[in-house]
Structure 1
């Protein structure tokens, strides 16, 4: 299956270190060779880089590792295709607008009978993946539930957690979702996270020969949370999320969490 990566921080921060490890799993240290993408939020705007080539071989991915784009919210994805052809329109993350904000979504897993179980009306997929279809269904349900008035973060993301649980019944649904302000993570079977804050130390990537001393590139007030399918470093303590668990981060800090029912059988 695919692999996910995201970051939430209280100050504009680059993700070059983490992405340098993730990109190697896209055709080098891992089998996820069917495209990759990353979206960075900058104020109300966002910029995306996507490529259907394996990230380990992509010149655009190399650019991202060498170009320290500063952001408070980032979502990345490397793809191992199981639904839809290998092409640009099927490459995550997917981005749509709602309530004057850019919403970004990436999914790890595979869904069955999604077209029949998750009918869409207002948000029509561009590509042919189960992932984008589920994203469009989520946006439809949010629009039906709340209309043109954006609800509180608590009401909105608790509702998204309920939707995630329903989608999870169709297969495997590990989710990352952001509106630029908040970062939402839902675990079906495999997500890990770590929050880095003072006192900062060194960390070593698993998939590349790279070590960083975070104390040299941060201040004492920085808070940075990284979420990944599998831990990216081998000398830090990552937290493994439980099946059905969801977390909401804002400016690097967890602000809401919950547990949805897990599947039986």
Structure 2
């Protein structure tokens, strides 16, 4: 399946260290070689970089590795195709507009036979189950609210829709409007919160370390979320299957645990 990477923080931060390890999973340290993408929110704007080449061979990935874009919310995806051919239209993350905001979505898993009714406002461009799920999710949210709801109400509705869609298969996903980051686990997702006092981290996928105390301030707080841990000398927390977390300002704000 695919690989997901997300970052949520309280001040704009670059993702160069984590991306250095993550991009190697697209054809070098792992077999996910069917395209990749990354989205950076900047205020109300969003930069999206996509390529249907493996991330370890992609000139676009080389650009991102050398471009210290700072953002409070980032979603990245490395694709291992399960549904849909390998092309740019099927490359995650996907972007749509709702309530005057850009929304970004990436999915890891396989939704067997998931064919919702065609929406009025959101329709897939490509042929993946992932984009169908995203369009269905957006369509249902827009039908429920004409304007942005309270965050707690939105969280509960995303949780309900995640349960509904998960009935069709594996639905690990990340969703963000640039203000918060929703993370849902079906099988594998892990996160870590980095805050003062900062220490040195070492990548799993490359012999690279960074001393975060030298590149941060005492008030920085950063949540990193990945399919599998990116470092081998830090304690990552595994999400439970069925768990949904909303990250804001670099920490979990709302958590829905699976029913016992």
TM-score, normalising length: structure 2: 0.98
The answer to whether the Cα contact below 8 Å between 1:79 and 1:91 also exists between their aligned partners in 2 is yes
Q: How does 1:110-121 map to 2 (within 5 A)?
A: 110-115=110-115, 118-121=116-119
Provide the rounded CA distance (Å) in 2 between the counterparts of 1:194 and 1:120: 38
Provide the rounded CA distance (Å) in 1 between the counterparts of 2:245 and 2:63: 31
CA shift for structure 1 position 30: 0.4
Residue aligning to 2:25: 25
Provide the rounded CA distance (Å) in 1 between the counterparts of 2:28 and 2:142: 41
Residue aligning to 2:150: 152
1:176 is the counterpart of 2:174: yes
For structure 2, the 5+ residue unaligned runs are none
Provide the rounded CA distance (Å) in 2 between the counterparts of 1:190 and 1:158: 22
Provide the rounded CA distance (Å) in 2 between the counterparts of 1:108 and 1:63: 24
Provide the rounded CA distance (Å) in 2 between the counterparts of 1:155 and 1:99: 15
1:128-158 Cα deviation digits (max 9, x unpaired): 0000000000011101211x12101110121
Provide the rounded CA distance (Å) in 2 between the counterparts of 1:235 and 1:202: 8
CA shift for structure 1 position 259: 2.2
Residue aligning to 1:47: 47
**Other structure's SS at 1:55 match:** coil
**Other structure's SS at 1:68 match:** coil
1:189-212 Cα deviation digits (max 9, x unpaired): 110000000000000001012100
Residue aligning to 2:233: 235
CA shift for structure 1 position 261: 4.5
Residue aligning to 1:136: 135
Provide the rounded CA distance (Å) in 2 between the counterparts of 1:104 and 1:164: 16
Q: How does 1:1-265 map to 2 (within 5 A)?
A: 1-115=1-115, 118-122=116-120, 123-146=122-145, 148-261=146-259
CA shift for structure 1 position 234: 0.2
**Other structure's SS at 2:96 match:** strand
The answer to whether the Cα contact below 8 Å between 1:165 and 1:260 also exists between their aligned partners in 2 is no
**Other structure's SS at 2:69 match:** coil
Provide the rounded CA distance (Å) in 2 between the counterparts of 1:119 and 1:8: 33
Structure 1 vs Structure 2 CA RMSD: 0.9
CA shift for structure 1 position 260: 3.8
1:174-230 Cα deviation digits (max 9, x unpaired): 010000001000100110000000000000001012100000100000000000000
